[in-house]
Structure 1
């Protein structure tokens, strides 16, 4: 009886893991275009409340600083190939890239506009 319960629990964990990871894409990862300026990729989903909050922050940043830094929303249902490429496990996740496209930092969870700007300054991606 205890063994059966343990097996059921193990199977349940495997099913949950497959449901979460499976949709992230079985396709090969696509290579992003080389950046000519630093970039912040916001990985999320359109149904995730913290991701919706970050969408507003990213839109504000694109409007105020888009000429210096590229701000891009990357949704799991539209860009399944990029999630495994960037090893995204939780959303929202922000990936900070230098002008060559190399990842220099990442953050998991929502950030305010001011926090994103400060992180860009700390990483010397923005003056």
Structure 2
């Protein structure tokens, strides 16, 4: 598929997809005329990249861990640095806090909806 179709299927702009390529997060093939060519695996990869970015991970860390995420049972970093470990621990802690906050908000909305539905029913 071409970049426009990948953008449509992932809700991502073409410009952002090119940025992912510049950051070495995404590697499309090239057709004979030089157009970028993407396959189905790229759809999942873009969704994965967006999720990691939304979680607050910087692209330099995402670039390091992406190859390992294809095989989650075999994660191994031969060149892991103390900085990378500290960054991942920090991001893990932030995610935990965000999940707790989102869970509280979801539960509050659920409770509100239950009360509103009960009052109107």
TM-score above 0.5, yes or no: no
Question: Given the two structures, how large is their TM-score scaled by the length of structure 2?
Answer: 0.28
Greater Rg over alpha carbons, structure: 2
Name the structure, 1 or 2, with higher relative contact order (CA <8 Å, separation 6+): 1
Bigger strand share: 1
